[in-house]
Amino acid sequence: MPSSTKIDAACERSLHIAQVQSSPIPEHPDCRSCKMRHPRRSAQLPDSIEQYYSPQAIAERISKSDDFVRDYFRDDPNVLVIHHPKTLNKRGYTSMMIPLSSVLKLIDDLKRKK
């Protein structure tokens, strides 16, 4: 009978490995129940994530000033605005990251004005 328990345990391990391989990201890379290490799967980013650009990069690309770009995107809801509060030794400032879709709208607006 001990050999049948070994076979059952081996079957359970192979089933567990098959379940882990079919799942996108394993719940625990170090499986304590079967004492096997499973390879970690890297999480893949969805294709819908947009690229973001700084106002300086956009200003260089369209030959305008940083202030022009910041003013243009000041009220855009898609822009990421990060506020850094002042501390005892540093002044406060705000960082902006602008998505590609908003940059393309700016370029279209500039083309229409010409």
Predicted pLDDT of residue 49 = 80
pTM: 0.56
Pairwise CA distance, residues 108 & 53, whole Å: 17
R_g over Cα of the chain: 27
Pairwise CA distance, residues 55 & 41, whole Å: 35
| Mean of per-residue pLDDT scores for the chain | 74
Name the residue among 87, 17, 79 with its Cα closest to residue 52: 79
Residue type, 94: T
Confidence category of residue 114, pLDDT binned at 50, 70, 90: confident
pLDDT over threshold 50, residue 37 = yes
Only one residue has tokens 């290490």, namely 37
What mean pLDDT do residues 6-33 have?
A: 46
